Chains A and B, each alone.
Chain A
Amino acid sequence: MLKVRNLTKSFGANTAVDNVDFAVDRPAMIGIIGASGAGKSTLLRMLNRMTDATSGQIEFEGREVLKLSGARKRAWQSDCAMIFQQFNLVPRMDVVSNVLHGTLNARSSLATMFNLYPNADIHRAIDILDRLGIADHAAKRAESLSGGQQQRVAIARALMQDPRIILADEPIASLDPMNAQIVMDALRRIHDEDGRMVIANLHTLDTARKYCDRVIGMRMGRVVFDGTPAQLTTGVARDIYGAGASFSEAATSTALESPESAAAKALHEAEAAV
């Protein structure tokens, strides 16, 4: 369904994404890993058409994504939701309004200027928030929520778009391990339950191994690995990160299931029980 062919992006003399080529034939959860500066973010931004490609092709079910413009480009963006590292919500608006922004592509500018949305959409937004466990915060301002909660609001905004693909650009890089797990679980559930394609940039190996069906490794703009998590050995990881023999996997780990966080969880539960 998604075909990326010879996709290249150069900034002046630098090539951020170099001849990237891959195809996805059914909705999958795909992790893109690599060191910072490997071109992961630029690749996702090109898929969403926030950044224009220098050359190459992106095809989604017969749609030539790179050739779209104007209203048809915006319709594609509505089909292809994006989740950001820094959440990118409107801080001073309430949570439900932020989620309703997911429907902007289908609404007139004038109605949205006065924050007028159909009641059915408002109900659906709150249902989505409930699904992500944050319905109680519906009327609060987005800025008053914690990072993990804000990221879930961002995921709710993405779901509100009813998208075919969800792109997640380092969705857990600014979260603590507990919230990172909640957010990754949510993304995985969306893939499992709704059958949506999820493409996530991750910079940690263990997250990619745990959650993804397929892993693409990038180094200096090129795809250097494309396979299942099982094929992702320490030797391959060394190539992706361009590290020497001293490379340790712990260096790229958020330690989701580390003893400390397990202990913290147990402590939290004990407190809740008291």
Chain B
Amino acid sequence: MIDLAAGQTGKRHVENVQAAYMEMTRRKRLYGAAMLAVFVALMVSGFRLADDRSAGSFANGISNIFDFPGEVLREAGEKITLLPALMVKFFPSLLETINIAAASTLLGAMAAIVLSLLATRGLARWPRLIAVVRRLLDLLRAIPEIVIALVLIFILGGGPVPAMIAIALHTVGALGKLFSEVNENASLKPLDGLQSVGASWTQRMWLGVIPQVAPNYLSYALLRFEINIRASAILGFVGSGGIGYDLKNAFSWGQGRYDEVAAIFLLLFGTIVLFDQLSSHYRNKLTGKA
């Protein structure tokens, strides 16, 4: 149907363009095929190496992967009538876990606000210290919560306080970075206005920057709260209280306590889904139509 006699340029010219484009396409395909081959080779060799270095074999172990959950589910199914009572029993530990997350998010976010302002070009109180503050934030982000928690438990003994401090420190690093990116997008004009009336640095930040960035701060803080609930549940495994501690005890008891494991999992799952939904609802409100 498409008769192309009415070309704009000569037939020779079009053939040149076609030849050049085909050449380019062939080269691209060749590179693509080479990349694919390298990728497959790396994946295969990497998998083999990892399989050799593991204690068991992946191929033999894979069939057992559903045995444990199956065992847990079977026992939980037999004792299903006990689950509601167990959930009530473990509810206080769940509250402790959520409290650890809430307190650490609050403290971490407050410290992060100060440090993020000190780490933002154009806003910092001491511009020369920007690099130092940024490296401090990097450091706080780089150390895993569980490492800080283990050290603190060694010093302070087990309990919720070391967990709270550990998560708060990590939160300072993570939120400080995100907050300072938000700060960079804030308009400097209100700051000039406040400077012209003789406001101090603290006044300029509190009255000039924070009102501009507060919705974004809150949105990131809610996201972090969600992450911290998971983190605080995990820290229970190393002995810092909360529902993670109960979960570890039930697990290490083994058969006979799997109903408790199931109850704790259900509680934890429900809580995480609940806070996930709540925070995404409020974050949409804040960043969307606010």
Interface residues of A (CB under 8 A from B): 96, 114-116, 119, 122-124, 126-128, 130-133, 135-136, 138-139, 159, 162, 189, 193-194
Contact = CB atoms under 8 A, between A and B. Distances in A.
B2 A126 contact: no
A120 to B, nearest CB: 11
Q: What 9 pairs between A and B have smallest CB-CB spacing? A: A133-B8, A127-B4, A130-B7, A130-B14, A126-B18, A135-B17, A138-B21, A131-B4, A138-B17
Given A127-B14, A130-B8, A135-B13, A122 B25 contact: yes
Contacts of B1: 162, 194
A122 B18 contact: yes
Contacts of A159: 2
A138 B32 CA distance: 20
Interface of B: 1-4, 6-9, 13-14, 17-18, 20-22, 24-25, 28-29, 32
B29 A126 contact: no
Nearest to B24: A139
A126 B32 contact: no
Contacts of B9: 130, 133, 135-136
Contacts of A132: 8
A124 B8 CA distance: 15
Nearest to B28: A115
Given A127-B2, A133-B8, A135-B7, 14 more contacts: A116-B29, A122-B21, A127-B7, A127-B14, A128-B2, A128-B4, A130-B4, A130-B14, A135-B13, A135-B14, A135-B17, A139-B24, A162-B2, A193-B6
A124 B4 CA distance: 9
Contacts of B21: 96, 122, 126, 138-139
Given A114-B32, A122-B21, A138-B21, A131 B6 contact: yes
Contacts of A126: 14, 17-18, 21
A133 B4 CA distance: 12
Nearest to A163: B1
10 contacts: A116-B29, A126-B18, A128-B2, A130-B4, A131-B2, A135-B8, A138-B17, A138-B20, A139-B20, A194-B3
B119 to A, nearest CB: 33
A1 B5 CA distance: 28
Contacts of B17: 126, 130, 135-136, 138
Contacts of A162: 1-2
Secondary structure class of chain B's binding surface, majority of residues: helix
Contacts, number: 58
B35 to A, nearest CB: 11
A193 B2 CA distance: 9
A123 B32 contact: no
Contacts of B7: 127, 130-131, 135
A103 B14 CA distance: 21
Contacts of A122: 18, 21-22, 25
B22 A119 contact: yes
A43 B110 CA distance: 54
A130 B17 CA distance: 9
Contacts of B4: 127-128, 130-131
A128 B8 CA distance: 10
Contacts of A131: 2, 4, 6-8
Nearest to B26: A119
Contacts of B13: 135
A237 B2 CA distance: 36
Nearest to B33: A114
B20 to A, nearest CB: 7
A69 to B, nearest CB: 27
Contacts of B28: 115
B170 to A, nearest CB: 37
A194 B32 contact: no
B215 to A, nearest CB: 29
Nearest to A162: B1
A163 to B, nearest CB: 10
Contacts of B29: 116
Nearest to A190: B2
A138 B13 CA distance: 12
B2 to A, nearest CB: 6
B149 to A, nearest CB: 45
A162 B3 CA distance: 11
A135 to B, nearest CB: 5
Give the residue among A116, A126, A136, A139 with the most B Cβ atoms within 10 A: A126
Contacts of A96: 21
Nearest to A159: B2
A130 B12 CA distance: 12
Contacts of A114: 32
A198 to B, nearest CB: 15
A127 B20 CA distance: 14
Nearest to A135: B17
Nearest to B3: A193
